Amino acid sequence: MELKGALLFGQSGGPTSVINASACGVFQTAFTHDCITRVYGAAHGIKGVLDDCLYDINAEDRQQIALLRNTPSSALGSVRYKLRDAEDNETDYLRILEIFQKYNIRYFLYNGGNDSMDTCYKVGKYLTEHNYPCRIVGVPKTVDNDLYSTDHCPGYGSAAKYIATTCMELSLDGRVYDKGTAVIIEIMGRNAGWLTAASAVASYAGQGPDLIYLPEKPFSIEKFIDDAEVVYARKGSVIVAISEGIRDKDGKYIVEYASENDRDMFNHIQLGGVSGYLASIIKQRLDIKVRGIELSLMQRCASHLASERDVEEAYQAGAEAVKLAVAGSSNIMVAFNRVSNNPYRMVITPVSLEAVANYEKKVPDRYIKDNFIDESFLDYVLPLIEGEAHPPFINGVPQFAKLRKVIAQVD
């Protein structure tokens, strides 16, 4: 059953290297469907809807849209805004309905992680209940890879590739001096250790961390010092990868200990800093040269070293979302279903939005060894970091998309 009207696409949550690749897939595919009368981009996700601030994507240069494929971050702007339940407060929903009617939006595609799928789900439920025909499709993304009911998430592969590569480079750099060193590399992941686990790819390639700690297992500072001492005694250096979200057996974040010691409350430490804290402890206890390193935002925006497979899959997720919506699907998220590993084959499968929202997928026990990652994890992760994608380079630096961002007007 054909539904004629405009398509609105929004980006939400933390940006990744490939969130714009999904945008590229959505836009380029939407342009090919006659039933889609106009393509809009929401400025800063759902906030742009509430503020009546939509960009007219039809007004964009097609070459800039093509460049989105390899441009990091969220070109339309992102937001962290959680819709309340409509039963508690209908204000936002009334406004969303008003704006959808104003622009005749009949396709709403939303790109993001857990919270964004929750937004999608709530909007879809409300519009259905109020008999406003609109096809709602969630497009997954998150570097954290913690989305439920999908084998993996767009954004993860590229971040994992950057982390593995950077850990190799840091391992070579960190072991260079005759006097031993401890290098502690802090990786994103508050509750799920998927990104930190990717550092093991470097280790299995022979040039990576000696010790890897995920937030899934309780972290003991004493045990950590013992582990580091054993490695250091053997190798004269120790390279450690830790997740920013490591916690002790009582569930307290290790970084909280750092903040407590830090009387002046440097923001630096609040915004991470567990690597610096552990480095200072290692220095005190083992009396060796230390360096705490945060991969910080680089790990989620280094599109110069994106995974080709990740970029392609992110693009396909956007393209398939449009195709499924046009074909009649709604209130779904496009999920990745890994059919086989050797050769790698993935099919995009729609899953119910209700099933996805607000669950977190952790790294399973079988992949986690005491202070390291089991080799079987490589079967999972290697296909996701396969191939090197990068933007075109001009004058030695990347050429990233620059959108005109013309504010949409309707009469």
Residues that are catalytic: 144
Q: Please state the closest distance from residue 198 (CB atom) to its own copies, in A.
A: 10
Contacting its own copies within 7-46 (CB under 8 A): 15, 43-44
Quick one: angle between helices 308-327 and 156-174, nearest 10? 170
Least distance CB 352 / its own copies (angstroms): 29
Q: Which of residues 135-164 bind its own copies (CB under 8 A)?
A: 161, 164
Q: How far is CA 329 from CA 12, 271, 320, 335, 349, in A?
A: 21, 41, 11, 13, 11
List of residues 6+ apart from 216 with CB closer than 8 A? 192, 193, 362, 363, 365, 368
Shortest reach from residue 309's CB to its own copies, in Å: 9
Give the residue with the Cβ less far from its own copies, 220 or 280. Answer: 280
Distance CA 282, CA 291 (A): 10
Q: Which residues pair with 10 in a beta bridge?
A: 110
Among 22, 28, 70, 71, binds its own copies (CB under 8 A): 71
Strand partners, 273: none
Closest distance to its own copies from the beta carbon of 271 (Å):
6
Identify which of residues 201 and 214 has a Cβ nearer to its own copies in the complex: 201
- The site that binds its own copies (CB under 8 A) totals a number of residues, namely 80
Distances (CA, A) of 40 to 103, 276, 370, 410: 9, 44, 49, 12
Which residue in 2, 34, 63, 176 binds its own copies (CB under 8 A)?
A: 176
Q: Which residues contact 312 (CB under 8 A, 6 or more apart)?
A: 21, 389
Interacting positions 243-282 with its own copies (CB under 8 A): 258, 261-269, 271, 273, 275-277, 279-280
Of residues 202-241, those binding its own copies (CB under 8 A): 202, 205-207
In sequence order, what are the residues at sequence separation of 6 or more whose Cβ sits closer than 8 angstroms to the Cβ of residue 354? 121, 331
Least Cβ distance, residue 72 to its own copies (angstroms): 5
Within positions 280 to 339, which residues make up the interface with its own copies, using CB under 8 A? 280, 283, 290-298, 300-305, 307
Judged by CB, which is closer to its own copies: 212, or 356? 212
Binding positions for its own copies, 372-391, rule CB under 8 A: 382, 385-388, 390
Task: Compute the radius of gyration of the chain from its Cα atoms.
Answer: 23
- Total count of residues recorded for the chain: 411
DSSP E strands in 188-288: the ranges are: 211-213, 238-243
Q: Report the residue from 24, 170, 197, 255 that binds its own copies according to the rule CB under 8 A.
A: 170
